[in-house]
Amino acid sequence: MLKKSILILVLLVAFSNMVWGADPIAYIINGLAYTLSKINLKTDLVTTNFATTGIVPNQIVIRDSLIYVVNSGSADIHIYNMNTDTKVDSINIGGGWARNPWAIDFSDCSRYAYVTCFTADSLFKIDMVTKSKVDSFYIGDGPAGILILEKLNKGYVCNTAFISYPGNYGQGTVTVFDTQGDSILKVINVGTNPQYLDLDNEGEIYVICTGDYSSERGIIYIIDPILDMIKDVVEIGGSPGFKPPKLWSRKGTMIDSFEIGGSPGIISISPDNIGYLAAGGWETDGEVYTFCAKADTVFHGSLNPIRLPGNSGVVSVSAFQDSTVYTCNFQADNVTRIDSSGNILKTYYVGDGPQHLTFNYTNGDVNGNWSLGLDDVILLAKYCCAHPVKLPKPKWRSDPNCDCRINLGDVIYLANYLLKSGPAPKHGCVN
Could you say which of 293, 325, 381, 411 contacts Ca ion (CB under 5 A)? 293
For residue 76, the minimal CB distance to Ca ion (Å) is 33
For residue 340, the minimal CB distance to Ca ion (Å) is 16
Which residue number, 263 or 367, has a Cβ lying nearer to Ca ion? Answer: 367
Q: How many residues in the shown chain lie near Ca ion by CB under 5 A?
A: 14
φ, ψ dihedrals at 111, nearest 5°: -70, -40
Which residue number, 182 or 410, has a Cβ lying nearer to Ca ion? Answer: 410
Binding mask 310-349 for Ca ion (x = CB under 5 A): ----------------------------------------
- Sites for Ca ion among residues 196-255 (CB under 5 A): 200, 202, 204
For residue 310, the minimal CB distance to Ca ion (Å) is 33
Exposure string of 84-115, with b = 16+ CB inside 10 Å and e = fewer, is: eeebeeebebeeeeebbbbbbbbbbbbebbbb
287 touches Ca ion (CB under 5 A): no
For residue 405, the minimal CB distance to Ca ion (Å) is 5
Which residue number, 79 or 292, has a Cβ lying nearer to Ca ion? Answer: 292
For residue 312, the minimal CB distance to Ca ion (Å) is 31
Which residue number, 48 or 362, has a Cβ lying nearer to Ca ion? Answer: 362
Which residue number, 287 or 365, has a Cβ lying nearer to Ca ion? Answer: 365
Could you say which of 376, 381, 412, 417 contacts Ca ion (CB under 5 A)? 376
Which residue number, 134 or 226, has a Cβ lying nearer to Ca ion? Answer: 226
Select from 274-282, 338-346, 349-357, 364-372 the region that touches Ca ion (CB under 5 A). Answer: 364-372
For residue 370, the minimal CB distance to Ca ion (Å) is 7
369 touches Ca ion (CB under 5 A): yes
- Sites for Ca ion among residues 379-418 (CB under 5 A): 399, 401, 403, 405, 410
For residue 369, the minimal CB distance to Ca ion (Å) is 4
For residue 380, the minimal CB distance to Ca ion (Å) is 10
Contacts with Ca ion by CB under 5 A lie at 200, 202, 204, 293, 365, 367, 369, 371, 376, 399, 401, 403, 405, 410
